[in-house]
């Protein structure tokens, strides 16, 4: 009963208002390419310094929830993920929009995000303490293998040649090594430029590789950017519910994956949504439809990345270890207030925790009407905007978004150069997603790899360090499966008779 | 767009371009090893390993491109000058951000890009409507970043000197 009363404390007018404001602000910021969920939370943290810990957590949690969901808007409508966790949403969301189903894709994204978010919050309140202890068993080598798993998943998922996708991932990993080394602090591949000391900024690269090719293609032809929807279709809620109902197991599986991945410190929504997408395609009766506008692709990625919100709070609140990058910012904000997270969050400080959980629940629920409302007008607006306005507006957002990250004009130049190179590489069959994931997962992979390498050298058994632990072997098995199954499927398609015999 | 989003677009023969791609990637891999030779062993181990992986994958692609023909990219259509102009304008925009300042470089940048992205004729009414819409966009984002989010945007060294 006590827990219930704490949960109800989230329903005070002030907390409700904070939840609504936070979700709305988060959606807008998350939808803008260049402003990630981490940045959304970070720029709005100062507002919470005068608040109680409960109110601060509710506001930050609501911003985080809204931003993760908001990232899907630009992923669906302009093929540019607003946040890294929406990368996989572009795979099917944008093809749906090109076919005139952008409104349905946004509705599905809203429903899936709400479902995934609710699952994550329920996991936070029920499984929190138990699951957090398992995540602690992950060592540096497991993180290395986890990053490689993320890369093999994206490479295996890419349309076209798997070999070229792996090359793209290797380019991304090499790009991630530019600048100061993660371990040791050496300067690498800076070629004497002080601008390259800080390395290739991940969000700038993400914006460039996804956004600039879209702009390059937009100005090439006079055709419409997206197919206009038929008139009078409304919000397509019934159609969305129907698809959600048929994809309920997909949404549940993706939410579970999102929650588990988020519990692993450092692994965020980008890995979760990719793994869920891969699983959704693997389990589908029609895997060929994925990548061409399959609604289940959107359901999988969006339910998964929003489940990471609640899941990521499990290690953040229970162990004081941030599950995802925005959690690290929220943790910092709480520490500034003098509030310490730890095991007592579900003990002595349970009033704060459960009120926050209630607030997160409210924020996730209000995301449904707010998201449907904004989403409807977002699609109608983007379809009706002429190219002469759309091109400069997108270019402007990419530039200001890139510049705002480090206040560095050189990042804008890097963003454009990478974008142009990405467009050329795409013409050669290398898609942007493996390169981007290589860049994002590079530092995680390198830290784990170098630490494992040092441990192996110190103990004299490199093989045992990298291949000796059951957890490592489990992840390696997943890597092999995610690589070999698509290769086998491709071979089977090319040689149907031999495969049958 | 990628061929992923254009399933019915005829694919072109990419065998020769695959060979070129593989050779370029081989050069990048060797370059990463060559330029990494002065880095400390601990900081070198990861990029060198990744460079070796890139070399192996590129060698496989090169072999594949000599063994069988591939058709893995769509035929390219559309205006090349407009594409090149777009990249050039955004690059210049980025280079002049500090010198011209955020507002001046952005107003100039969006105006030129509107010209590049427009395929029909211009009427005074259309020019006015588009101009006002783009100015409003610049103003909105300037207020959002500079005033609301407190992200400092460059004022322009040119104007400070005047």
Residues 6+ apart with CB under 8 A from B105: B93, B96, B97, B99, B156
Choose the mutation target among A164, A394, A436 for the interface with B, i.e. most B CBs under 10 Å: A164
Q: What residue in B sits closest to A432 (Cα-Cα)?
A: B2
Q: Which of B42, B87, B115 sits opposite A184 (nearest CB)?
A: B42
The domain tally of chain A equals 1
Cβ neighbourhood burial of A460 (10 Å; 0-12, 13-18, 19+): exposed
pLDDT for B7 = 42
Question: Buried b vs exposed e over A260-283: b needs ≥16 C-beta within 10 Å?
Answer: bbbbbbbbbbbbbbbbbbbbbbbe
ipTM for the complex shown: 0.88
- 3-state SS of A86-130? HCCHHHHHHHHHHCCCHHHHHHHHHHHHHHHHHHHHHHHHHCHHH
More confident: B27 or A98: B27
Q: What DSSP state is assigned to residue A264?
A: S
Residues paired with residue B74 on neighbouring β-strands, in sequence order: B11
Cβ neighbours of B116 in A, within 8 Å: 219, 391
B11 SS3 class: strand
Average pLDDT over residues A478-498: 72
Q: Give the model confidence (pLDDT) of A370-396 as tens digits.
A: 888 887 677 667 667 888 888 898 888
CA gap A93, A47 in Å, rounded: 34
Cross-chain residue pair A396–B109, CB shorter than 8 Å: yes
Distance from the Cα of B158 to chain A's closest Cα (Å) equals 16
**Which of B44, B50, B31, B52 minimizes the C-alpha distance to A144?**
B50
Instruction: For residue A176, give the chain B residue with the closest CA.
Output: B47
Closest Cα of chain A to B84: distance in Å?
Answer: 8
Q: How confident is the model at residue A128 (pLDDT cuts 50, 70, 90)?
A: low
Nearest 5 degrees, angle CA A115-CA A12-CA A370? Answer: 40
Query: For residue range A272-309, what is the model confidence (pLDDT) as tens digits?
Result: 888 888 888 888 888 888 888 899 999 999 999 899 88
Structural domain that includes position A63: 2-500
Residues A193 and A343: their CA atoms lie apart, in Å, by: 46
Cα nearest neighbour of A397 on chain B: B141
Tell me which DSSP letter residue A337 carries.
T
A413 neighbourhood in chain B, CB within 8 Å? 91, 94-95
Is A61:A69 a contact under the CB 8 Å cutoff? no
> How many CB atoms are closer than 10 A to CB B37?
8
Alpha carbons A202 and A84: distance in angstroms, whole number: 9
Q: What are phi and psi of A202, to 5 degrees?
A: -60, -45
Partners of residue A428 in chain B, C-beta under 8 Å: 14, 17-18, 20-21, 73
CB atoms within 10 A of CB A49: 10
pLDDT attached to residue B22: 93
Domain residue limits, chain B: 3-74, 80-161
Dihedral sign computed on CA atoms, order A66, A69, A71, A76: negative
Does residue A153 have a pLDDT over 50? yes
Residue A316: pLDDT over 90: no
Tell me if A364 sits within 8 A of A65, measured CB to CB.
yes
- Residue pair A466/A199 in contact (Cβ under 8 Å)? The answer is no
Q: What is the DSSP string of A152-193?
A: HHHHHHSSS-HHHHHHHHHHHHHHTTSEE-TTT--EES-TT-
Partner-chain contact B18 A429, CB within 8 Å: yes
CB contact under 8 A, B118 and A388: yes
Q: Comparing A149 with B127, which gets the higher pLDDT? A: B127
Residue pLDDT, tens place only, B4-53: 334 444 566 777 888 999 999 999 999 999 998 888 888 899 999 999 99
Question: What pLDDT sits at residue B2?
Answer: 36
Give the mean pLDDT of A224-239: 67
pLDDT value at residue B1? 32
- Confidence category of residue A500, pLDDT binned at 50, 70, 90: low
Predicted local distance difference test score (pLDDT) of residue A443: 85
The mean pLDDT value for A351-369 works out to 86
| Structure confidence by residue, pLDDT tens digits, B60-113 | 999 988 887 776 666 677 888 999 999 999 999 989 988 999 999 999 999 999
Q: Report CB contact under 8 Å: B134, A91.
A: no
Check pLDDT > 60 for residue A149: yes
Q: Where on the phi/psi map is residue B120: left (φ > 0), alpha (ψ -120 to 50), or beta?
A: beta
**Whether the Cβ atoms of residue A310 and residue A360 lie closer than 8 Å to each other:** yes
| Residue A174: predicted pLDDT | 94
Alpha-carbon gap: A167 to the closest alpha carbon of chain B (Å)? 6
| pLDDT tens readout for residues A39-67 | 677 666 666 767 788 888 888 889 888 98
Q: What is the mean pLDDT of chain A?
A: 81
pLDDT for position A158: 61
Of B4, B57, B130, the CB nearest to A389: B130
Q: What is the share, in percent, of chain A residues with pLDDT greater than 90?
A: 12
Is A488 a residue whose pLDDT tops 80? no
Which of A46-50, A102-106, A465-469 has the weakest average pLDDT?
A: A46-50
Give the residue on A whose Cα is nearest the Cα of B127.
A388
Q: Which of A203-207, A337-341, A425-429: highest mean pLDDT?
A: A425-429
Quickly state the pLDDT bin for A497 (edges 50, 70, 90). Answer: low
Contact list in B for residue A398 (CB cut-off 8 A) is 90
- Whether A433 contacts A238, CB under 8 Å: no
Test the A interface: residue of B3, B5, B143 with most A CBs within 10 Å: B5
Count of A–B CB contacts within 8 Å? 222
Query: How many angstroms from the chain centroid is the CA of residue A341?
Result: 25
Please judge whether A174 and B54 are an interchain contact, meaning their C-beta atoms are less than 8 angstroms apart.
yes
Question: For residue A445, which residues of chain B lie inside 8 Å, CB to CB?
Answer: 46
Kindly report, residue by residue over A417-464, the tens digit of the pLDDT.
999 999 999 888 888 878 887 887 788 888 888 888 888 888 888 888
Give me the pLDDT at residue A103, please.
83
Q: What is the pLDDT of residue A134?
A: 62
Percent of chain A with pLDDT over 70: 82
Provide the shortest C-alpha distance from residue B23 to chain A (in Å): 12
């Amino acid at each position: 009963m006590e827990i219930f009363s704490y949960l109800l404390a989230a329903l005070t007018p002030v907390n409700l208002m904070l939840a609504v404001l936070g979700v709305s602000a988060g959606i807008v910021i998350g939808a803008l390419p260049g402003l990630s969920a981490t940045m959304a939370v970070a720029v709005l943290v100062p507002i919470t310094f005068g608040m109680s810990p409960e109110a601060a957590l509710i506001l930050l949690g609501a911003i985080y929830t809204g931003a993760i969901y908001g990232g899907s808007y630009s992923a669906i409508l302009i093929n540019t993920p607003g946040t890294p966790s929406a990368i996989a949403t572009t795979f099917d969301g944008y093809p749906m929009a090109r076919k005139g189903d952008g409104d349905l894709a946004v509705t599905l994204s809203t429903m899936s995000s709400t479902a995934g978010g609710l699952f994550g919050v329920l996991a936070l309140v029920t499984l929190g303490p138990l699951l957090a202890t398992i995540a602690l068993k992950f060592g540096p080598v497991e993180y290395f293998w986890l990053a490689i798993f993320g890369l093999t998943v994206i490479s295996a998922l890419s349309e076209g040649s798997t070999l070229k996708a792996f090359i793209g991932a290797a380019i991304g990993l090499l790009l991630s090594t530019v600048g100061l080394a993660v371990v040791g602090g050496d300067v690498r591949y800076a070629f004497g430029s002080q601008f390259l000391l800080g390395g290739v900024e991940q969000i700038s690269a993400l914006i460039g590789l996804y956004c600039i090719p879209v702009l390059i293609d937009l100005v090439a032809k006079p055709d419409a950017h997206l197919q206009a929807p038929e008139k009078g279709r409304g919000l397509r809620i019934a159609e969305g519910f129907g698809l959600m109902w048929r994809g309920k197991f997909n949404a549940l599986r993706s939410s579970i994956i999102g929650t588990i991945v988020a519990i692993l410190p450092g692994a965020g929504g980008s890995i979760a949504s990719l793994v869920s997408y891969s699983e959704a395609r693997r389990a589908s009766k029609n895997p060929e439809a994925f990548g061409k506008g399959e609604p289940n692709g959107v359901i999988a990625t969006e339910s998964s990345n929003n489940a990471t919100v609640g899941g990521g709070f499990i290690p953040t609140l229970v162990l004081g270890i941030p599950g995802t990058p925005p959690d690290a910012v929220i943790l910092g904000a709480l520490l500034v207030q003098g509030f310490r997270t730890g095991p007592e969050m579900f003990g002595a400080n349970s009033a704060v925790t459960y009120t926050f959980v209630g607030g997160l629940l409210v924020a996730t629920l209000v995301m449904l009407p707010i998201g449907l409302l904004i989403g409807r007008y977002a699609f109608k607006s983007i379809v009706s905007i002429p190219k002469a306005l759309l091109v400069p507006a997108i270019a402007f957002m990419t530039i200001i978004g890139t510049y705002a990250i480090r206040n560095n004009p050189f990042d804008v130049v890097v963003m454009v150069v990478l974008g142009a190179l990405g467009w050329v590489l795409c013409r050669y069959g290398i898609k942007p997603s493996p390169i981007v994931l290589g860049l994002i997962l590079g530092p995680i992979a390198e830290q784990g790899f170098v630490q494992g390498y040092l441990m192996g050298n110190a103990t004299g058994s490199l093989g045992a360090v990298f291949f000796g632990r059951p957890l490592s072997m489990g992840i390696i098995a997943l890597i092999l499966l995610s690589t070999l199954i698509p290769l086998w499927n491709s071979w089977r398609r090319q040689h149907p008779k031999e495969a049958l015999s | 767009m990628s061929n992923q989003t254009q399933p019915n677009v005829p694919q072109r023969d990419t065998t020769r371009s695959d060979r070129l791609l593989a050779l370029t990637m081989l050069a990048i891999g060797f370059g990463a090893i060559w330029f990494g030779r002065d880095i400390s062993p601990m900081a070198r181990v990861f990029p060198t390993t990744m460079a070796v992986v890139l070399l192996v994958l590129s060698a496989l692609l090169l072999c594949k491109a000599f063994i069988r023909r591939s058709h893995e990219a769509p035929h390219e259509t559309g205006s090349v000058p407009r594409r090149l102009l777009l990249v050039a304008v955004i690059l210049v925009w980025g280079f002049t951000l500090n010198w011209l300042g955020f507002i001046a470089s952005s107003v100039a940048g969006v105006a030129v890009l509107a010209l590049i992205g427009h395929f029909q004729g211009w009427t005074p009414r259309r020019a006015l409507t588009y101009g006002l819409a783009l100015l409003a966009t610049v103003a909105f984002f300037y207020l959002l970043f500079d005033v609301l989010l407190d992200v400092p945007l460059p004022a322009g060294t040119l104007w400070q000197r005047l």
